[in-house]
C-alpha cells in the first residue's frame, strides 16, 4: 500500500453533500406522504465558524465598572450561546425547507434566522426530531433511527459522514 496524499485531496463539493431524510410525521404532502428534508452536510470548519460567532470573550467588570484582577491578570468572561449556535447550524444545514428564505421569514415574521427553526418546527417533538437528524448527519451528536436510515439513502449518509 503506497502512501499517496491524493487520497486526502478532496473537492469542497465532496465534503458538503446534500442528503435527504424524512421530516417529522406532522409534515405531509397532499398525498399523505411525509415530506423529505434536504440536509447539507457542513464541513467541520463551517460548524466551528458558526459556533465561534456565538462566543464572546470580554473583560469581567465589578459593580463599579472596574475590571477584576486576579494575580496581576485581568479576568475575562467567556459566554457561549450554544442554543442559538445550534439553531444557526440547523438553518445553514437545511436546504429544504430553506429556513433563511425571505418569503418564509416574512411569513413567520422573523428577522433573525436563528428564530426560524423554532417557528417552522414549533412543536417540541418536531424541533427535537429535526435537531437530532441534522446533528447526526453532521456527525456532532445523535444517531439516525433504523427507519430513518432506510428512508434515506444509506450510501448517501455514509458518504456524507466520511
- Bridge partners of residue 69, in order along the sequence: 74
Arithmetic mean of pLDDT, 146-151: 64
Task: Please give the pLDDT value at position 155.
Answer: 47
Q: Write down the architecture of domain 11-55+81-161 according to CATH.
A: 2-Layer Sandwich (3.30)
Mean pLDDT of the chain: 87
Task: Please give the pLDDT value at position 8.
Answer: 79
Task: Please give the pLDDT value at position 59.
Answer: 92
- Whether this model's pTM surpasses 0.85: no
The DSSP symbol for 53 reads H
Residue ranges of domains in the chain: 11-55+81-161
Say if residue 129's pLDDT is above 80. Answer: yes
Say if residue 27's pLDDT is above 80. Answer: yes
Amino acid at each position: 500500500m503506497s502512501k499517496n496524499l491524493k487520497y486526502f485531496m478532496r473537492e469542497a463539493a465532496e465534503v458538503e453533500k446534500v442528503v435527504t431524510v424524512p421530516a417529522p410525521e406532522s409534515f405531509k404532502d397532499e398525498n399523505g406522504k411525509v415530506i423529505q428534508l434536504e440536509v447539507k452536510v457542513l464541513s467541520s470548519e463551517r460548524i466551528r465558524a458558526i459556533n465561534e460567532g456565538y462566543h464572546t470573550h470580554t473583560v469581567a467588570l465589578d459593580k463599579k465598572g472596574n475590571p477584576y484582577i486576579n494575580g496581576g491578570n485581568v479576568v475575562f468572561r467567556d459566554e457561549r450561546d450554544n442554543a442559538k449556535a445550534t439553531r444557526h447550524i440547523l438553518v445553514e444545514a437545511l436546504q429544504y425547507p430553506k429556513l433563511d428564505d425571505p418569503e418564509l421569514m416574512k411569513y413567520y415574521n422573523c428577522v433573525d434566522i436563528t428564530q426560524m427553526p423554532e417557528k417552522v418546527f414549533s412543536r417540541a417533538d418536531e424541533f427535537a426530531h429535526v435537531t437530532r437528524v441534522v446533528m447526526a448527519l453532521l456527525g456532532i451528536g445523535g444517531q439516525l433511527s433504523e427507519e430513518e436510515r432506510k428512508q434515506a439513502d444509506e450510501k448517501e449518509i455514509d458518504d456524507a459522514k466520511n
